[in-house]
Amino acid sequence: MDLGTNSLKIVMADTPSEAPNYEKPDYKGANLTTAVVVGKGTVAGNPTVDFVFEDEDGQKYVAMLTAGLIENLTGAIQGMKERAG
C-alpha cells in the first residue's frame, strides 16, 4: 500500500439502495475511535488527519487523509445537500 497516495475515488449515491454494500467476507467493520489532526502532516507542510479504527478483535487500523482530500469530500457532501434541497 502506498501511504503517500494523495487522491481519492469519490462515489456519489443518492440513496442507501444505490450505495455499495460492504458485506462479509470481503469487508469487516471497524469503529472510528480517534481523529488526529496534524498541522504540518505532509512533506510540503500541509495539514493531515489520521483516522484510527479498531475492529471487534482489537486490531487497530489507520487511514491518513490530507486536508485537500477532506476539502474535496466536504465539497461533495455540500453538493449532495444542495441537490437534495
pLDDT in tens, 10-26: 899 999 999 999 998 99
User: Is 37 within a domain?
Assistant: yes
The residues, ordered by sequence, that sit 6+ positions from 64 with a Cβ below 8 Å of its Cβ are: 3, 41, 48, 49, 50, 51
What is the structure's pLDDT at 8? Answer: 77
Note down the domain range covering 51: 30-84
Residue 63 in any domain: the answer is yes
Residues 6+ apart with CB under 8 A from 78: none
pLDDT of residue 3: 59
Q: How far is CA 19 from the centre of its chain?
A: 15
Residue 67 lies in a domain: yes
| Mean pLDDT score across all residues of the chain | 89
pLDDT value of residue 85: 75
Domain for residue 79, yes or no?
yes
pTM for the complete prediction?
0.76
Residue 6 within any structural domain of the chain: no
The pLDDT of residue 5 = 59
Query: Which pLDDT belongs to residue 22?
Result: 92
What is the total count of domains within the chain? 1
Q: Which residues of the chain have pLDDT under 70?
A: 1-6
Q: Is residue 69 part of a domain?
A: yes
Does residue 17 form part of some domain? no
